[in-house]
């Protein structure tokens, strides 16, 4: 087969432009596929290893205060393998040179020893020394934000008392991979820190000597989590427990899981679409490529080459092209996967950055591409060899052009001869035109998805912060406090308005479904916090009953009018039955809203609040923050603006990376489709076009005939692409629904405009490349050789 192999290489070199364009499309599809799946695998494995190495606990419980002697009873609960009691305290922190309010969670660890459960991964410095009570370890992200190093000092205000602490080391913990302040929606590494202190020192500062308020458990193999939690709840109930919860409800783990779930969706949906589109294009392009070789296939057959030999020859051609794309795609995919994994691992504070690539991922990518390429090839070869060679040597469809609709309608005088040729050509080969249109449309859709995420997030922020949460500051109080406290806050100079609220941690239950959340008691006529429905209209809070986020109602399978069981996890833990009065649409978190007065009444407490929303004069905000900082009852303050900023930052890193890649790959696909379609059209029609040139048509007219058809296809593809993009986005938005956030289906005009521009620019570039090629068309050569 020596000569045929030579033919193969020459054909490849001759078609290098197209080969490259096909390979690019493939690289796009396969790279996304490999990147997403390998990143997901990497993160999952890394997380599990990390959890295992640091012995991340299975069950957690928070109490008010329990004596150390209770430990024995907890350890005796069936199913518990190991247990660890701790003192955990909220504190306000002061970092030298930083004026914003900073809140911290103080966690006790054994002096000079790494805890047995939730062990720390020490990054810098050393563990605490046993003989000092003013040392602390701090979490890595907080240290990095403030550029803190071992030996630096920070101040913590615990229970109203200031304590100077020296940083002994910088650590990471599986418990705080996603370090998010209690009640916050987004992490803010600069304004929230984790401090690990010696048990004795922290207990002394927090009045917890001989007692603990936090306990974590490692369960025995095969232990049933729910059973342990139930027993545990009974034991700790009289110590003011907030209810035990499993790892799946642990904050950091939940955020991480949610992120992984998102990534999994991305990995399952997105690359599959990409790979599918690439495979589809590969198929279309290869089919047409082989079709242009029909004549040569017929000659080979005429000389006695068997169908098998011919099929093998073209299969080899396609394998080379597919392999090029595959090799490139895998290489780029690994490179991007490493980058993306590193980005995630950095964000989630994994202590290591090993990258895992499953062989299956590569095999699958190879299989899909090969099947797509091969099926196109073999179908086209089959169609060509099925015909007797004499027939196959004629052009595929005998040129049975018809007059077009335009002409039948008698409108031809409105159009020039070249325009009529375009119309006839499109009408004659509607399927081919449709495939081109389909390819371009999918590229357009993919690019829209890239921007959709940004649009959706901006919209989420808008709704969350501009419409529903108007407060500048949210002040949380150490414990429920008389509503009179509102007056002292409102009295601070510069505070324009103050509104109280009462939040109660609770387990919400309907039939067998439960959700750990809280009951939010709001002022019904509040102007700073409003509960909105999906049309962004205010929902009135009824005197009786609770208003649920629609997604929460879905989770609990409860409808308005039905009764919700609220197991309060605070105080004397009443169990309440409240009717669901209505639903609200929100994109961030889920909540159960009530009137504050109703919450107070149900809790059999006075007129109390435990958080305050403030509207402040920006001029005075620094001083207000300082004053708040000095108030002993204030647990912490969240500034709205910084919340928005930190949210943006969080999202930007991961989403923009994805968006950028998506847009890039979408552009490549668009380019690949248009370029290949045009190129094949040229090789299919070179004789016709050369004849026209010989007959005296200008270059411009001939180019117009060829490119005009592509222009029409591109323009037809755009609206179809919008539809496809919209469908993709709505699918993704559906996939991304969780109790942490729901991505609204928002597509802004600029997203559509952007996708259109990418497609148009790609089309124009390939048009120009083709125009060049057309100008270099060797008229005589084309007309002389009869393939």
Partner 1 sequence: MTISPAAATDAADTVFRVRDLTKVYHMGEVDVHALRGVDLDLVAGELMVLLGPSGSGKSTLLNILGGLDTASGGTVHYRDQDLTHADEQRLTAYRRFHVGFVFQFYNLMPSLTARENVQAVTEIVPNPMTAEEALALVHLQDRMDHFPAQLSGGEQQRVAIARAIAKNPSVLLCDEPTGALDSETGILVLEALERANQELGTTTALITHNADISGMADRVVRIMDGKISSIERNTTRVKASELSW
Ligand X SMILES: Nc1ncnc2c1ncn2[C@@H]1O[C@H](COP(=O)(O)OP(=O)(O)OP(=O)(O)O)[C@@H](O)[C@H]1O
Nearer to ligand X, 393 or 663 (CB): 393
- Pattern 299-338, partner 1, x by CB under 8 A: xxxxxxxxx-x-----------------------------
Instruction: Choose the one of partner 1, ligand X, none that binds residue 394, judging by a C-beta under 5 to 8 angstroms depending on kind.
Output: ligand X
Q: Which residues pair with 634 in a beta bridge?
A: 477
Which residue stretch of 162-170, 386-394, 435-443, 606-614 sits at the interface with partner 1 (rule: CB under 8 A)? 386-394
Site for partner 1, residues 505 to 564, rule: CB under 8 A: none
Which residue stretch of 72-80, 293-301, 419-427, 550-558 sits at the interface with partner 1 (rule: CB under 8 A)? 293-301
2 binding partner 1? (CB under 8 A): yes
391 binding partner 1? (CB under 8 A): yes
> Pairing state of beta strands 563-568 and 575-584?
antiparallel
Among 257, 283, 296, 468, binds partner 1 (CB under 8 A): 296
Site for partner 1, residues 456 to 495, rule: CB under 8 A: none
Instruction: Choose the one of partner 1, ligand X, none that binds residue 349, judging by a C-beta under 5 to 8 angstroms depending on kind.
Output: none
Site for partner 1, residues 115 to 134, rule: CB under 8 A: none
Among 7, 312, 483, 649, binds partner 1 (CB under 8 A): 7
Does the CA dihedral 637-639-640-643 come out positive or negative? negative
Structure tokens at 10: 């020459």
- In whole angstroms, give the CA distance from residue 127 to residue 134: 13
Nearer to partner 1, 7 or 649 (CB): 7
- Three-state SS at 42: helix
Nearer to ligand X, 388 or 700 (CB): 388
Q: Which residues of 194-217 are buried (b: 16+ CB within 10 A; e: fewer)?
A: bbbbbbebbbbbbebeebbbbbbb
> Which helix (DSSP H) or strand (DSSP E) does residue 643 occupy?
helix 640-651
Nearer to ligand X, 395 or 571 (CB): 395
Q: Which residues pair with 548 in a beta bridge?
A: 583, 592
Number of residues that bind ligand X (CB under 6 A): 2
CB of 386 to ligand X, least distance (A): 15
Residue pair 11/314 in contact (Cβ under 8 Å)? The answer is no
Q: Show Cβ contacts of residue 456 under 8 Å, excluding neighbours closer than 6 positions.
A: 733, 743, 744, 745, 746
Nearer to partner 1, 1 or 363 (CB): 1
- In whole angstroms, give the CA distance from residue 210 to residue 217: 20
Residue pair 380/287 in contact (Cβ under 8 Å)? The answer is yes
Instruction: Choose the one of partner 1, ligand X, none that binds residue 299, judging by a C-beta under 5 to 8 angstroms depending on kind.
Output: partner 1
Which residue stretch of 278-286, 391-399, 472-480, 705-713 sits at the interface with partner 1 (rule: CB under 8 A)? 391-399
Nearer to partner 1, 4 or 539 (CB): 4
CB of 695 to ligand X, least distance (A): 22
CB of 297 to partner 1, least distance (A): 11
Other C-beta atoms lying within 10 Å of the C-beta of residue 311: 19
Strands in 80-86's sheet, in edge-to-edge order, are: 80-86, 211-219, 59-67, 244-246
- In whole angstroms, give the CA distance from residue 465 to residue 578: 29
Backbone angles phi, psi at 123, to 5 degrees: -105, -35
Nearer to ligand X, 394 or 513 (CB): 394
741 binding partner 1? (CB under 8 A): no
Instruction: Choose the one of partner 1, ligand X, none that binds residue 400, judging by a C-beta under 5 to 8 angstroms depending on kind.
Output: partner 1
Give which of 341, 268, 275 is closest to 47, Cα–Cα. 341
Q: Which residue is nearest to ligand X (CB)?
A: 394
Instruction: Choose the one of ligand X, partner 1, none that binds residue 304, judging by a C-beta under 5 to 8 angstroms depending on kind.
Output: partner 1
Nearer to partner 1, 390 or 695 (CB): 390
Q: Show Cβ contacts of residue 26 under 8 Å, excluding neighbours closer than 6 positions.
A: 278, 282, 322, 324, 325, 326, 328, 329, 369
Site for partner 1, residues 407 to 426, rule: CB under 8 A: none
Instruction: Choose the one of partner 1, ligand X, none that binds residue 781, judging by a C-beta under 5 to 8 angstroms depending on kind.
Output: partner 1
- In whole angstroms, give the CA distance from residue 50 to residue 559: 41
- Pattern 377-416, ligand X, x by CB under 6 A: --------------x--x----------------------
Residue pair 481/609 in contact (Cβ under 8 Å)? The answer is yes
- Pattern 764-783, partner 1, x by CB under 8 A: --------------x--x--
Residue pair 678/710 in contact (Cβ under 8 Å)? The answer is yes
Instruction: Choose the one of partner 1, ligand X, none that binds residue 7, judging by a C-beta under 5 to 8 angstroms depending on kind.
Output: partner 1
Instruction: Choose the one of ligand X, partner 1, none that binds residue 772, judging by a C-beta under 5 to 8 angstroms depending on kind.
Output: none
- In whole angstroms, give the CA distance from residue 387 to residue 399: 17
Residue pair 466/530 in contact (Cβ under 8 Å)? The answer is no
Nearer to partner 1, 8 or 323 (CB): 8
Other C-beta atoms lying within 10 Å of the C-beta of residue 513: 11
Other C-beta atoms lying within 10 Å of the C-beta of residue 314: 25
> Which helix (DSSP H) or strand (DSSP E) does residue 325 occupy?
helix 307-347
Nearer to ligand X, 298 or 692 (CB): 298
- In whole angstroms, give the CA distance from residue 99 to residue 116: 36
- Three-state SS at 190: coil
- Three-state SS at 331: helix
Structure tokens at 522: 């709001």
363 binding partner 1? (CB under 8 A): no
212 binding partner 1? (CB under 8 A): no
- In whole angstroms, give the CA distance from residue 18 to residue 675: 7
Instruction: Choose the one of partner 1, ligand X, none that binds residue 458, judging by a C-beta under 5 to 8 angstroms depending on kind.
Output: none
Interface residues with ligand X (CB under 6 A) are: 391, 394
Q: What are the residues binding partner 1 (CB under 8 A)?
A: 1-4, 6-7, 10-11, 14, 295-296, 299-307, 309, 388-391, 393, 398, 400, 778, 781, 784-787
């Amino acid at each position: 087969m020596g000569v045929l192999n030579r033919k193969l290489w020459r054909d490849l070199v001759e078609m290098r432009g197209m080969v490259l364009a096909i390979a690019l499309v493939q690289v796009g599809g396969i790279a996304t596929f490999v990147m997403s799946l390998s990143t997901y695998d990497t993160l999952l494995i890394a997380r599990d290893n990390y959890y295992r190495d640091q012995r991340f606990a299975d069950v957690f419980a928070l109490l008010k205060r329990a004596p150390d002697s209770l430990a024995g009873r907890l350890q005796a609960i069936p199913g518990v393998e190991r247990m660890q009691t701790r003192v955990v305290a909220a504190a306000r922190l002061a970092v030298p040179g930083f004026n914003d309010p900073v809140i911290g969670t103080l966690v006790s660890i054994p002096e000079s020893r790494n805890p047995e459960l939730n062990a720390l991964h020490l990054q810098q410095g050393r563990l605490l020394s046993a003989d000092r009570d003013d040392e602390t370890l701090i979490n890595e992200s907080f240290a990095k934000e403030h550029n803190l190093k071992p030996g630096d000092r920070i101040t913590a205000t615990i229970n109203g008392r200031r304590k100077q602490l020296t940083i002994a080391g910088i650590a990471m913990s599986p418990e705080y991979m996603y370090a998010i302040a209690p009640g916050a929606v987004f992490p803010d590494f600069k304004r929230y820190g984790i401090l690990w202190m010696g048990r004795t020192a922290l207990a002394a500062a927090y009045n917890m000597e001989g007692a603990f308020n936090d306990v974590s458990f490692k369960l025995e193999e095969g232990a049933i989590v729910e059973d342990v939690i139930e027993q545990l709840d009974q034991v700790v109930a009289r110590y003011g427990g907030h209810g035990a919860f499993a790892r799946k409800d642990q904050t950091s783990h939940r955020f991480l899981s949610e992120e992984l779930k998102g990534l999994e969706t991305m990995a399952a949906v997105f690359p599959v679409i990409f790979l599918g589109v690439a495979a589809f294009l590969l198929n279309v392009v290869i089919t047409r490529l082989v079709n242009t070789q029909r004549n040569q296939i017929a000659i080979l057959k005429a000389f006695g080459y068997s169908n098998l030999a011919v099929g093998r020859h073209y299969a080899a051609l396609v394998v080379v092209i597919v392999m090029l794309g595959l090799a490139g795609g895998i290489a780029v995919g690994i490179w991007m996967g490493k980058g993306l994994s590193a980005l995630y691992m950095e964000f989630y504070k994994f202590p290591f950055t090993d990258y895992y690539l499953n062989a299956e991922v590569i095999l699958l990518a190879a299989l899909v591409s090969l099947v797509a390429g091969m099926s196109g090839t073999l179908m086209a070869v089959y169609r060509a060899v099925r015909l007797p060679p004499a027939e196959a040597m004629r052009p595929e469809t005998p040129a049975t052009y018809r007059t077009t609709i335009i002409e039948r309608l008698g409108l031809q005088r409105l159009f020039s001869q070249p325009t009529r040729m375009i119309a006839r050509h499109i009408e004659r080969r509607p399927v081919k035109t449709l495939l081109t249109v389909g390819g371009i449309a999918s590229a357009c859709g993919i690019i829209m998805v890239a921007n959709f995420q940004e649009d959706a997030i901006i919209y989420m922020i808008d709704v969350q912060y501009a419409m529903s949460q108007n407060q500048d500051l949210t002040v949380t109080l150490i414990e429920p406090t008389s509503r009179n406290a509102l007056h002292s806050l409102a009295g601070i100079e510069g505070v324009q308005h103050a509104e109280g609220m009462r939040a109660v941690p609770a387990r919400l239950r309907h039939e067998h479904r439960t959700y750990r959340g809280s009951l939010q008691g709001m002022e019904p006529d509040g102007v700073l916090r409003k509960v909105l429905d999906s049309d962004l209209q205010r929902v009135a809070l009824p005197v009786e009953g609770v208003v649920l986020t629609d997604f929460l109602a879905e989770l609990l399978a409860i409808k308005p009018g039905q009764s919700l069981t609220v197991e309060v996890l605070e105080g004397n833990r009443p169990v309440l039955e409240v009717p669901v009065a209505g639903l609200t649409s929100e994109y961030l978190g889920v909540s159960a809203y009530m009137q504050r007065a109703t919450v107070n009444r149900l809790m059999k407490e006075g007129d109390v609040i435990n958080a305050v929303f403030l509207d402040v004069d920006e001029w005075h905000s620094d001083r207000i923050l300082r004053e708040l900082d000095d108030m002993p009852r204030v647990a912490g303050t969240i500034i709205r603006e910084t919340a928005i900023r930190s949210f943006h930052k969080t999202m930007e890193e991961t989403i923009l990376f994805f968006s950028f890649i998506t847009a890039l790959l979408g552009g490549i696909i668009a380019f690949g489709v248009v370029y290949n379609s045009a190129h094949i059209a040229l090789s299919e029609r070179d004789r016709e076009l050369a004849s026209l040139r010989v007959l005296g048509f200008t270059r411009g007219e001939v180019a117009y005939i060829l490119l005009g058809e592509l222009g029409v296809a591109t323009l037809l593809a755009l609206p179809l692409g919008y539809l496809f993009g919209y469908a993709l986005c709505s699918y993704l938005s559906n996939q991304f629904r969780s109790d942490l956030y729901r991505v609204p289906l928002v597509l802004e005009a600029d997203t559509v405009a952007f996708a259109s521009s990418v497609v148009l620019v790609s089309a124009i570039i390939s048009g120009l490349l083709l125009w060049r090629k057309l100008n270099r068309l060797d008229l005589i050569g084309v007309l002389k050789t009869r393939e």
